[in-house]
Amino acid sequence: MSAVRRSGSAFPPQPEVLRGSLFTLRRRCGTPTCRCADGEGHASPALAYPAGGRTKTLTLTEQEAVEVAAALARYAQAKADLDAQAAAGLTALLGRVAARRASRS
């Protein structure tokens, strides 16, 4: 599977899988008469992702947030599948080692 999904549009391809966390970034613009001066602030979706041992943040559009959420879900499913395969491999190895040890006795 490739790292990105090909798209027929003029935009770059959508990510197939992503690691990170989707969250809502809230901030104030600094304009004293803006609604954010007394309220919750401006909200925009953002992705927090690991890069070089640090956590980076990338602000997103609403459409990108939908695509990113789907890519994060695919990553979580792929990780769960890989964890299940690793657990099955460990179980098989433990069984072989136990059988080998039992045959020695």
> Could you report the per-residue pLDDT of 3-57, keeping only the tens digit for each?
555 545 566 677 899 999 999 999 998 898 888 888 888 999 999 999 999 999 9
For tokens 């499913």, the residue is 77
Is 44 inside a domain boundary?
Answer: yes
**Global confidence as pTM:** 0.74
Asked whether residue 22 is domain-assigned, the answer is yes
In a domain, 2, yes or no: no
Q: Which domain holds residue 47?
A: 16-104
- In angstroms, the CA 105 to CA 103 distance is 6
What are the pLDDT digits (tens) for 64-90? 999 999 999 999 999 999 999 999 999
Q: Does 51 map to a domain? A: yes
Note whether residue 46 is domain-resident: yes
Q: Give the residues across from 14 on adjacent strands.
A: 5
pLDDT exceeds 50 at position 61: yes
96 domain residue, yes or no: yes
Q: CA 63 to CA 70: how far, in whole Å? A: 11
Distance in angstroms (rounded) separating the CA atoms of residues 20 and 1: 20
Is the distance from CB of 45 to CB of 25 less than 8 angstroms?
A: yes
Domain count of the fold of the chain:
1
Residues constituting the chain: 105
Domain-located, residue 8: no
